[in-house]
Amino acid sequence: MKNKMGESIRSLRKQKKKTLREVAVAINVTHSYLSRLERGLKKPSMDMIEKLADYFDVHKSYFFLEDDKIEEMSTGEKILTFEKDLSIENLKEKYNITHKGKPVSDDELKVMITVLESYRDSQNIGNKD
């Protein structure tokens, strides 16, 4: 049986160059519990998924999307798909989003946000925040 959730947790932890103990302390669980999550021996609650998403600064949908769908995405699509804060202010502050070399307008960003939220809902990859 594939352990998507555990693989996702381990992958994020390694990307951030964190040890099991460091992450466990930060989210207030034991390192052995976190290890069991990564190995698929335990399933995390939604509260735990939210803690992990907050800690790793990703949208909780990251833990639900299948690898083949993630692999089909460009780097930019991945970043925006898993961005936690889809406010126009945050997107403008964190990203230089352009189309054909021109900055996108606030109206275009609103459309992008609506489409992304609809995508997340259609894939059943986390509740809307």
Q: In this structure, what DSSP letter does residue 99 have? A: E
> pLDDT tens across 8-20, in order?
899 889 988 999 9
pLDDT for 123 equals: 67
More confident residue, 121 or 37: 37
- Give per-residue burial for 93-118: e unless 16+ CB within 10 Å, then b: eeeeeeeeeeebeeeebeebbeebee
4-57, which class in CATH? mainly alpha
Mean pLDDT value across residues 98-113: 87
Residues 6+ apart with CB under 8 A from 25: none
pLDDT for 86 equals: 82
> pLDDT tens across 28-65, in order?
999 999 999 999 999 999 899 999 999 998 888 888 77
State the Cα angle at 117 between 116 and 118, rounded to 5°: 90
Name the residue among 19, 90, 84, 88 with its Cα closest to residue 54.
84
More confident residue, 22 or 63: 22
Q: Cβ distance 63 to 52 under 8 Å?
A: yes
* pLDDT above 80 (res 126): no
- Give per-residue burial for 47-68: e unless 16+ CB within 10 Å, then b: ebbbbbbeebebbbbbbbbeee
> pLDDT tens across 69-105, in order?
777 887 777 777 788 888 888 888 888 888 888 888 8
Quick one: pLDDT band at residue 129, thresholds 50, 70, 90?
A: very low
Domain boundaries, the chain: 4-57, 67-122
pTM: 0.65
Cβ-based neighbour number of residue 88 at 10 Å: 14
Place of tokens 């999307």: 65
pLDDT for 1 equals: 41
pLDDT for 31 equals: 94
